[in-house]
A and B are shown apart, each in its own frame.
Chain A
Amino acid sequence: MSEQNWEPKIIAFFCNWCTYTAADLAGVSKLSYAPNVKIIRVMCSGRVDPQFVLYAFANGADGVLIGGCHPGDCHYSEGNYKTLRRISLLKKMLTQFGIEDDRMRLEWISGAEGEKVKTVINEMTENIRKLGPLNIPEKFITWDRELEKRNRGSEYKLRV
């Protein structure tokens, strides 16, 4: 995809009890927001393993959004605190990898906040549009080009 018609790709993990319900509400209320987000429903924001976030980035996401219940409101009482602790440590690590802070966002959105879903998604899409594409799969291909000279075919197996 060329730079001009590039659109930010955002993967969103929304918790079943609050943020996903809020996204539902946004839909029923006919609110319109940026179409750049692909929502994945998880039972709790605490289910979002940092591995999921890295996997999303490594496979072409430009941003990852995680939505959970407000502190104190978690359906499983502690899940969102765990998410908060995971995400702060993960952000610290992602900086070292060269992934900007704005590419990962954690938001508390209750089931009644359909409007907030709209605002957050629109804001994040704009922030990422400013940062530009992350395009990690493309980078991996560039990195591995140096191996092509000696690549002896699939029998010897290269990283796919």
Chain B
Amino acid sequence: MSSKPKVAFYWCASCGGCEEAVVDLAEDILEVVKLVDIVFWPVAMDFKKRDVEALPDKSINIAFINGAIRTSEQEEIAYLLREKSQLIIAFGSCACFGGIPALANLYSKFEVLNDVYIESPTVDNAAKFLPQTTSIDNNGKQIELPEFYSQVRALDEIISVDYYLPGCAPTPKLIANTINMLLGDNLPTAGSTLLPDIALCEECPRKDSKPTDLSITEYKRICENLVDPEKCLLAQGFLCMGPITRSGCEALCIKGNMPCTGCLGPTSRVVDFGAKAVSMFASLSSGKNEEEIEKNYAQVMDPVGTFYRYHLSKSLLRGKLERGI
């Protein structure tokens, strides 16, 4: 066995973009591979769960886990990797805050399964089968599927997490910095987010066009309006999350002429991202009576989906309250 640090990657409830982001390191990944031994990476390499189980406890140096936790299988692997690893990194917004999959916390487990397996127009399921945790196959053998939980949870609701690297997905530059930092001698404080603790506006190329006093009279939807490529998006009335989101991505979306959607998560002073977004957008708008205010918000079609796009698991209310099982 080599003495190189051992690294594991795993994906839970996620789209695969985070894995893609690691591959996006391109040639740099060869440098990483020179420095570390990858012992588990189901997406790219042929390792099995039993290979990890065979490792001694705490023998993996760093485990990067992306994706939220929705099934008992993801939960089990999270526990396994916690047992075998010294450091667990919540990689990407889903592992850190629940991410896009967490928006399913607005629906019950049944509504989700019903929609995917029965109602969806591309599905042919006349017998209305829904996935079962146990069933009998054609040979009479009992087979098992993982349990689909009622909630989407962030990784740190299941196991303790040493560091957080949010992003949808984290940029190759952030990943390379993180790996170098973790392989070095100076580890950051446990539990910290490996990003600057200042708002995105600080590194936004349109910073200078942001007026000191904003008084937005009508929030606009990006799909229905032309965007000025030079001017601050908030000043144009678009719902840009820049002021409450961490910096570190170098304002990628803004450079692509799209408002920030908040994937890097809140700065450390914020408890609940969506509530803070409500506070911010309300403060930046004008209107002194209910009628004017109503008009300001008329185009805010889906407040939870907009303000908690990546954070519903970590919101104070965690999801829709009455939704059955």
Contacts and interface: CB of A to CB of B under 8 A. Distances in A.
Instruction: Tell me the interface secondary structure of chain A in the complex.
Output: helix
A152 interface: yes
Given A51-B276, A55-B271, A97-B321, A85 B283 contact: yes
B321 A98 contact: yes
Chain A residues touching B, range: 35 or more
Nearest to A152: B79
B266 to A, nearest CB: 11
Interface string A135-155: 010011001001100101000
Chain B residues touching A, range: 35 or more
A104 B303 CA distance: 17
Interface string B70-113: 00100110010010000000000000000000000010000000
B120 interface: no
A88 B318 contact: no
Nearest to B288: A81
Interface string A44-79: 000001110111011000000000000100000000
B317 A51 contact: no
Contacts of B294: 88
A55 B316 contact: yes
Nearest to B72: A150
Contact of A85 (B153, B293, B302, B315): B293
Contacts of B283: 82, 85-86
B117 interface: no
A51 B79 contact: no
A86 B316 CA distance: 17
Given A92-B297, A97-B304, A98-B320, A54 B272 contact: yes
A156 B315 CA distance: 21
Interface string B49-62: 00000000000000
Contacts of B156: 157
Interface string B117-128: 000000000000
A140 B159 contact: no
Interface in A96-129: 96-99
B178 interface: no
B300 A89 contact: yes
Contacts of B270: 51
B296 interface: yes
A42 interface: no
A129 to B, nearest CB: 18
A147 B285 contact: no
A130 interface: no
24 contacts: A49-B275, A50-B278, A51-B270, A51-B271, A54-B317, A55-B272, A71-B288, A82-B282, A86-B279, A86-B283, A88-B282, A89-B278, A89-B281, A89-B300, A89-B303, A92-B303, A93-B304, A96-B320, A99-B321, A136-B317, A143-B151, A143-B318, A150-B75, A157-B159
Interface of A: 49-51, 53-55, 57-58, 71, 81-82, 84-86, 88-90, 92-93, 96-99, 134, 136, 139-140, 143, 146-147, 150, 152, 156-159
